[in-house]
Chains A and B, each alone.
Chain A
Amino acid sequence: MAIELTVNGKPASFAGDPSMPLLWYLRDHARLTGTKFGCGIGYCGACTVHVDGTARRACVTPMSTVAGHAVTTIEGLSGAGTLHPVQQAWLEEDVPQCGYCQAGQIMTAVDLLRRKPDLSDTDIAELTNLCRCGTYPRIRKAIRRAALALCGEHA
């Protein structure tokens, strides 16, 4: 039985191994390569996506568990030609270096800001995504900037 799900707002179907992690479905089958492979054990966060709006590490999320759910990847975070305020903040703070972990960082930050719109640095310090280039200080600045922007949006 094929697994039916929604990926970036579009219906999708997967008839392969239900134990396949969502990450490899996205990369190899849906050809959405913005979600990255870093560790395969849910530790580094490079593969972070949203499942029903909540951050999830796709490398340890079997396809069987996302049947009937809505998956959002970095490619689907904003509409075509537009940027999510977090993506915008990321550009303004010039966060990326190699850039490989950044999709996961952004997806995690969006989730954090959704849960804690008035976040503090202590909240940001809870983030566990790894960045080998050491962009953390600029990630902090970008999240603070995005928090302000989102605050203005909702005001």
Chain B
Amino acid sequence: MGTSVSSGVGTDIRTGSGTGQGTSVTGAHGNALSRRDFLRVSVSAAGGLAVSLAWPRLGTAGEAMEPKLPPAVSQPLGAFVRIEPDGRIVIGARGCEIGQGVRTSLPMLIADELDVPWSAVTVEQLDYGLEESGTPPKLVSRYGPQGAGGSTSVRDGFDELRQVGARARWLLIQAAGEEWRVPAGQLRTQDAQVVHPDGRTLPYAQLARRAAALAPPAREVPLKDKSAWRIIGQRVRVVDGRDIVTGTARYGIDSAVPGALTAVIARCPYFDGAIAKVDDSDARRIPGVRRVLTIEGPLPGAPIDRNLAAGVAVLAEDFWSAQRGRQALHITWTPGPGAQDSSSALEQRALAAFDQRGKIARQDGDFDAARRGAKRVIESTYIEPFLAHATMEPPNALIDLRGKRALLIASLQSPRGASGMVSAMTGIAPSDIEIQLPRSGGGFGRRLENDFVAEAVLIAQKAKQPVKLIWTREDDLQNDFYRPFGIHRLTATLDAFGNVNGWAHRVAATARKYRAAGMDDDDPDWIGCVDRDGFPAGCVANYRAEFLPVEFSLPRGWWHSPLPTFSAFPVESFLDEVAVAVGQDPLALRLALLGAPRELDYRDHGGPKVHTGRIAGVLREAARRIGYGRKLPPRHGIGLASHFTHGGYAAHAIEVAVPEQGEWSVVRCVCAADIGAVVNPLGAEAQFMGGTICGLSTALNLQITVKDGRIEQANFPDYPLLRMAAAPDVEVFLIDSPFPPVGAGEMGIPPVAPALANAIFAATGKRLRRLPLGGQLKT
């Protein structure tokens, strides 16, 4: 057997931990070796993947278990790789595909080290892989981290998954060595073949059976040098693109199991409200409606670790009947404690909060002294709204509870959280909960929460049959974990020479850490709201970042590049304001503040270090590409902004035209990024293009507001995502970077809003300090 080390479940990043319940260990464990024991891959103590290509030697336990395999069957080489008799190389994709491209990029890592042509590769989505192993039995992850969040998939997988490919290749070389009676060290591989020193070749397909019977390498196999990469760095198209364009790709909402009823829920529109009275007699008369039942919401004030709201579920033979049943319900709600509250009242409370002293998230030098001695003080206040995720595929979940086993099919970002939640709610061991991972119609952080899974479980438990829960768009916009609302007050002090010597960033916001089940007591209160180590922290001698929590009842969550997006707009807008105030060019001011290229501490997600030279690098590249400094037509302006996001660096340069009369427009939109080595440039460019469009959409038009305790927005017309007409082409430039890869999914958003606001200022002299900008552009 192999050398796998088991020490706990997979390592979804902490923002992906969902309920935080995923690590429970259950006791019962059968003795019989199952087939998948031989495919075990587990997580090392350090969180890395210990790949145990643990297919057993023939003649060991494996043979006792299963009939001897005939020669022509496909041969698995570890948990991720299978070689078919016809030469096809099947590679497992472990991640949740939410549009970030991991179903393509992660198998590319394996294929490159395996040394097979991409055209020979078939990618198969892996289920969530949890199993019990060892004595006493512990939960182990078969495939390593499978969640999607924080742009971590490529970063986490880069060495692990290349090692998977390298180990499978190592086995194939050993097998060829045995076949030819040649030392393995004299053999090399090329295009899915092992090559003999005399030029003879053996295709992998012919070696797979022998290779699968060998003991796996005892230690890590050396990886290729960058110069030998054949697939990494190539422009590879979405691997299941054909399924998508022909309508056969399967999403969570497309799932079906025999006997499942479709459920919709009328949820209490007041947060922490309750059901006072239900009359379901009309609903039950709708043809196709089979059951009407109620579910409880969270206890007021308690952590929101399951579903968001009390509600009345209607179960029917199809969606339309369920929806008609729901419309026929007569429900009286008891409003919750926030029933009188509104966004305007919240804004007043947040502004008033600045009269208090908040919690200090970072302090360098003595800002107060700098302010007292300042030649000049500049101060501005910026306002950012709540945001909803609005995934194109609304939340949904199919759950089938079968006694001691369960099946969950849903579009997820945190299968680990879902597994823990289903287990906690049902008592079913996590290793007995099968979780399939279909494509997700977007994620953006919404599916890091599994509240919709909890709802499906609650309904299925009451109904005692499989349930497919579907949310409508209205359900989605009005029942979210929203990006926090916040007001930022920034203050810069200038010394006698006009240099910035003091910087204070005060944030009055609805804390992200609010009834958050996945957070610990020792997580700081400002988590997700104060980018304490973000630029210009570390570049200004007297610096202070401060958090002022403001009460509000809406649940909060991680929203697509959460903290960077929240912080970039005020900081990068204010940098421009300071530049204007001191009469310096905005790019020159940034470069002067960044100073010599060096690493600074960055303690939040994406750290532990941030490199000032890489920030300067993307700024310079964006500026160069747009022709920064060139003479522009009247009423045109170029705005710049950059941000360090989850370990990656991006800058935008946007040129706008804002005529005195008529429509304003984006003339050019440039994005430069440094994300280290790029696994799939075609996919990475798509991520930055999409991130930029998302950034524009959000900056211009998106906000969630509350009046009388209820969300005011109901469907897309109230939450108007950008459409074709307003979406500019995005020129993406990826810097040839010597650094290891990070992700690409989130870095493209944060600089967009400030670059746009800076461009509008450059064109018009009008400074916009409130998001969304759209309404303020109308003349």
Contact = CB atoms under 8 A, between A and B. Distances in A.
A55 interface: no
A98 B246 contact: no
A100 B393 contact: yes
A134 interface: yes
A125 B724 contact: yes
Interface residues of A, number: 58
Contacts of A73: 247
B99 A98 contact: yes
Contact of A132 (B287, B442, B472): B442
B318 interface: yes
B393 A97 contact: no
Given A27-B319, A44-B473, 15 more contacts: A17-B321, A21-B320, A24-B319, A28-B318, A39-B715, A40-B473, A40-B715, A44-B392, A97-B101, A98-B99, A134-B693, A136-B693, A136-B723, A137-B729, A137-B730
Nearest to A99: B244
A8 B250 CA distance: 19
Contacts, number: 192
29 contacts: A28-B318, A34-B248, A35-B247, A36-B441, A37-B319, A38-B394, A74-B245, A74-B247, A83-B245, A91-B241, A94-B238, A96-B244, A97-B690, A98-B97, A98-B393, A99-B99, A99-B238, A99-B241, A100-B251, A101-B441, A103-B244, A127-B724, A130-B392, A132-B694, A134-B692, A134-B727, A135-B686, A136-B722, A137-B728
Given A38-B392, A91-B242, A24 B247 contact: no
Contacts of B697: 134
A91 to B, nearest CB: 5
Interface in B660-693: 682-683, 686-687, 689-693
A139 interface: yes
Interface string B430-454: 0000000001111110000000000
Contacts of B278: none
B253 A37 contact: yes
Nearest to A128: B723
Contacts of A83: 242, 245-246
Interface in A20-79: 20-21, 24, 27-29, 31-41, 43-44, 46, 73-75, 77-78
Nearest to A142: B245
B439 A99 contact: yes
Nearest to B316: A28
Contact of B241 (A16, A40, A94): A94
A132 B391 contact: yes
A140 B727 CA distance: 10
Nearest to B477: A39
A96 B440 CA distance: 12
Contacts of A124: 724
B392 A137 contact: no
Interface in B710-739: 715-717, 721-725, 727-730
B53 interface: no
Contacts of A90: 241, 245
Interface string A75-111: 1011000010001001100101111111100100000
B669 to A, nearest CB: 10
Interface in B253-307: 253-254, 256, 262, 287-288
A131 interface: yes
Given A125-B724, A137-B727, A98 B392 contact: yes
Contacts of A87: 245-246
A126 interface: yes
Contact of B237 (A16, A32, A94, A133): A94
Interface in B171-207: none
Interface of A: 16-17, 20-21, 24, 27-29, 31-41, 43-44, 46, 73-75, 77-78, 83, 87, 90-91, 94, 96-103, 106, 124-140
A75 B690 contact: no
B393 A130 contact: no
A13 to B, nearest CB: 16
B615 interface: no
A36 B254 CA distance: 9
Contacts of B237: 91, 94
Contacts of B444: 132
Given A75-B247, A136-B724, A40 B392 contact: no
A40 B247 contact: no
B390 interface: yes
B731 to A, nearest CB: 10
A134 B319 contact: no
B98 interface: yes
Nearest to A141: B729
B249 interface: yes
A98 B686 contact: no
Contacts of A133: 99, 392, 442, 690, 693-694
A48 to B, nearest CB: 12
Contact of A43 (B98, B319, B716, B730): B716
B708 to A, nearest CB: 23
